[in-house]
Amino acid sequence: MNDPPLFVLLNEISIIEHLARNRLERALPEGLRVSHFVVLNHLVRMGDGRSLVRIARAVQVERPAMTNTIQKLEARGLVTLEADPRDGRGKLVFLTPAGRAAREEAVAIAEAAIAPVAGDVSAAEVGVVLPVLRRLRAALDRARDDD
């Protein structure tokens, strides 16, 4: 079997993603899904007060999924919603203090979850790999827009 190199790479990426996601999912507090964590993380890192669509696009899910995720986060008191003053259709998502705290806790859990494998891949290696993957991601993103 000589599949194209990129094919093999994506296959490996797919497996790693699945393993890492499952591992994180089990480590997170009861009821806090990876998808929730991803949104909290995004809001902390990129800033809150963003619309649902914008967040959805950033984390690669469709709008209905984001509606669901945000409703769960709101029910937990981790985010609040406000009407967008500039757009009557939009809602803006804001982190609550509890939301920021939950994100901190989840990050600590995530780091602990990957600690056992951290020794197998050095920071230097990540430094080599990461730029290539970023380029790959950018290319996939561009290809998506072209469809």
Binding site for DNA (CB under 7 A): 22, 25-26, 33, 35, 51-54, 60-72, 81, 84, 87-92
Of the residues 4, 31, 64, 97, which one makes contact with a copy of itself according to CB under 8 A: 4
C-beta of 46: minimal distance to a copy of itself in Å? 10
Instruction: Pick one of DNA, a copy of itself, none as the site partner of residue 98 (Cβ within 5 to 8 A by kind).
Output: none
- Judged by CB under 8 A, the number of residues near a copy of itself is 58
For position 83 contacting a copy of itself by CB under 8 A, the verdict is no
Contact in structure between 36 and 95 (CB atoms under 8 Å): no
Instruction: Retrieve residue 107's tokens.
Output: 């990050």
What stretches of 7-110 adopt beta strand conformation (E)? 50-51, 79-83, 91-95
Instruction: Pick one of a copy of itself, DNA, none as the site partner of residue 128 (Cβ within 5 to 8 A by kind).
Output: a copy of itself
Residues 6-45 that bind a copy of itself (CB under 8 A): 6-10, 12-23, 26, 38, 44-45
What is the C-alpha separation between 87 and 96, in angstroms, rounded?
A: 22
For the four alpha carbons of 121, 21, 115 and 69, in that order, the dihedral sign comes to positive
Instruction: Pick one of DNA, a copy of itself, none as the site partner of residue 33 (Cβ within 5 to 8 A by kind).
Output: DNA
Nearest Cα residue to 41 out of 78, 89, 87:
78
Instruction: Retrieve residue 76's tokens.
Output: 């937990």
Nearest Cα residue to 7 out of 136, 138, 144, 129:
136
For position 110 contacting a copy of itself by CB under 8 A, the verdict is yes
Instruction: Pick one of a copy of itself, DNA, none as the site partner of residue 104 (Cβ within 5 to 8 A by kind).
Output: none
